[in-house]
Amino acid sequence: MDLLDNYKKAWKNQPEEASKRSTIEIYKLAHSRSASIVKWIFIIGILEFVILNTLSFFMDTDKSNEELNALGLERFIFYFSFIYYVVLAYFLILFYLNYKRISVIDNTRVLMKKILVTRKTVKRYVIFNILMTALIVIIVTITTVQNEFDIVGSENIILIVLILLVLLVLTLGIMWLFYQLLYGFLLKKLNTNYKELAKLDTNS
Amino acid sequence: MQKDLERKFLLDFEANQNIVHKICRIYTTNKDAHNDLFQEITIQVWKNYLKFRGDSKFSTWMYRVALNTAISLYRKSTRIVKTQDINTVAYKIEATQYDDTEEIQLKALYAAIHRLNDIEKALIFLYLEDKPYKEISETLGITNVNARVKMNRAKEKLKNILNP
């Protein structure tokens, strides 16, 4: 270690910071607003819950309810909504608890893991949402096809199903891309660092 | 009570701020980013100061909070390393105080450290600060053995950059 020893000596002899902060400056800094990644994950996570749940307000629910009733799906929608809100509450509580558990006092590895777990909760919620949406679309389509097969005719039915499928895949694709960009931007550094730190320890 | 705690924090932090400045110099390459990271570390140390119990030295505790902030919480990318920015790292170093060779060595050392990844930076920093392996492994959350393995690799990489 001869080479590094010399540099270490230079490191030790380096002068103290020239522009040291006074206690007043430190006071001001300590009371300013954090811009940490954890805060961003919390804000974006909450936004995701809010946005996914307010989307339905923009739809004409009365009209779609009528149509669902006409299809004989009201009972299914009732149970479905009930389960949906229970699961939503579960995810929200889990997200909040995970967020609260993040502590900068933990060791680096545990800290990074907790941040990634918090983000994963939201990811699972989004996947859950996508699956539920897909399920509804599929069930409504099947019921419609069964009910109106004679009226619409088989050729049109195939066309409608195809259009629905394309729309579904397109929506999911856009959502996926959005997530890749958003979290890729936010968490790339953290993911790399976590892998780097965990690399050897998984074997031991 | 709060006032006392706050006064104690301010004095503790002021006395140990050089540690934070060194971490900022390692993890950032320009003055704005340095100040930005310094601010975030100050916020985190104060936010968690209540949880600091006197069973370890304040400086030891601060190493952990400051490094964690730099590695995991700080968002700005440090990928773009401009050469003139590395030179501005030396803006704070007053050349008159010590001899030329050490100044040049220090500049080269910082420039080399900037080319390491975030984890290697932390390892090398703790090595330069003479921290024992026990403390290094506890800070990073890896086993003692792995801390040694990773440290040796980081040192090798640093040596290769310094003396290709």
pLDDT(A149) > 70: no
Task: Give the residue on A whose Cα is nearest the Cα of B22.
Answer: A17
Domain chopping of chain B, boundaries: 1-80
Put simply, the answer to whether B71 touches A193 (Cβ < 8 Å) is yes
Whether the pLDDT of residue B18 is over 80: the answer is yes
Query: CB of A142 within 8 A of CB of A158?
Result: no
Quick one: pLDDT at residue A152?
Answer: 66
Instruction: Give per-residue pLDDT as tens, B66-100.
Output: 999 999 998 764 444 444 444 444 444 444 455 67
Give the nearest partner residue to B141 out of A4, A11, A110, using CB atoms: A110
B107 pLDDT more than 70: yes
Mean pLDDT value across chain A? 84
Give B152-164 pLDDT, tens digit per residue: 999 999 999 998 8
Contact A171, A93 (CB under 8 A): no
Q: Does the reported pTM lie above 0.90?
A: no
Q: Which CATH architecture has domain B1-80?
A: Orthogonal Bundle (1.10)
Q: Please report which confidence band the pLDDT of residue A109 belongs to, taking 50, 70 and 90 as the band edges.
A: very high
CB proximity A20 to B under 8 Å: yes
pLDDT at B86: 47
The minimal CB distance from B92 to the residues A12, A17, A32 is found for A17
Nearest of A118, A123, A119, A120 to residue A98 by alpha carbon: A118
Positive/negative CA dihedral, A188, A189, A192, A193: negative
Residue A201: predicted pLDDT: 61
The two tokens of residue A98 are 């995970």
B42 CB neighbours in chain A (<8 A) are 26, 29-30
Cα–Cα dist A36/A39, whole Å = 5
